[in-house]
Structure 1
Amino acid sequence: MDPADLVATMPFAVHTGVRLTKAAPEEVVGHLEWDQHRTTAGNGMHGGALMTLADSVGAVCAFLNLPAGASTSTTSSSTVFTRGVRKGTVTATARPLHAGRTTVAVVTELRDDEHRLVAQVTQSQAVLHPQPGS
């Protein structure tokens, strides 16, 4: 699928400004621009904005690693923030750690314009198989 079509399936991600530039099962890349409306005290990008980017890019990575006909839902997400962002663009790169029958685990790195680590997010996603007869 086209990256723009994939992000279009997530209205909140679209509303908050998440853009995808690469979408393949082995790697998904997305971006979020610093904007005054996405900040907290001290003009730093809000952690919720960063998490929206990470969760959206990670979800696409999980989706692209699902078996045919399955869907997914996040079951856990753990974030380590390492630095603030006060300008520019944050780039998120998600890669699968595990793609199994019942779970998909994804790690997403967020980096600033100088390629410095901003945060690392590890997600677990449940693999939801269609129920017979549905």
Structure 2
Amino acid sequence: MQNPADAMPLARLFGVEVPQFDREKVTGTMTVREDLCTAGNHVHGGALMAFADSLAAIGAYLNLPEKNTGTTTVESKTNFLGKAESGTVLTGTATPVSIGKRLTVWQTRIEDQDQRPIAVVMQTQMFL
């Protein structure tokens, strides 16, 4: 699998690249574009949430129990910590907090290219 985000239409639309991924850590990048920004030229919170959701979903999928066929997000909480303007390259790192039989919880840290925190997302995925 080259870029697992290619299997997700929204992640493709946002330009998410996932060069590193395994069952314990998923790292991806997204360049903030003008069309992903608010009127103030700062990345929209929904774009950050979708970026984090994509990375955690990949991690959950990689931990999919044999009998299950997919995952879905059942809860997500985002703390917005900083702003990122158009042209900023964001890096998201998703790591599991808990992997159970039906649910998996992931934390995703999003930083800019200067390693300043932009957002932290806690998310629960359910195995389908």
Flag whether TM exceeds 0.5 (same fold): yes
Query: Residue 114 of structure 2: SS of its match in structure 1?
Result: coil
Matched AA of 1:52: A
How much does 1:41 deviate?
A: 2.2
Q: Report the counterpart of residue 71 of structure 2 in structure 1.
A: 72
Q: Report the counterpart of residue 36 of structure 1 in structure 2.
A: 34
Any runs of at least 4 consecutive aligned residues in structure 1 with deviations exceeding 4 A, and if so which? Answer: none
Whether contact under 8 Å (1:66, 1:99) holds in the other structure is no
The 5-angstrom pairing of residues 56-95 of structure 1 reads 56-70=54-68, 71-86=70-85, 87-95=87-95
Whether contact under 8 Å (1:3, 1:22) holds in the other structure is no
Q: 1:17 & 1:83 partners in 2: Cα distance?
A: 21
Query: Residue 123 of structure 2: SS of its match in structure 1?
Result: strand
Larger of the two Rg values belongs to structure: 1
Q: 2:67 & 2:2 partners in 1: Cα distance?
A: 20
Q: Which moved more, 1:23-32 or 1:67-76?
A: 67-76
Q: 2:2 & 2:94 partners in 1: Cα distance?
A: 13
Q: Report the counterpart of residue 6 of structure 2 in structure 1.
A: 8
* Residues 86-133 of structure 1: CA deviation (Å, up to 9, x unaligned): 1420100000111111110000000001101100000111122xxxxx
Q: 2:32 & 2:13 partners in 1: Cα distance?
A: 14
TM-score by structure 2 length? 0.93
Ranges in structure 1 where 5+ consecutive residues have no aligned partner: 129-134
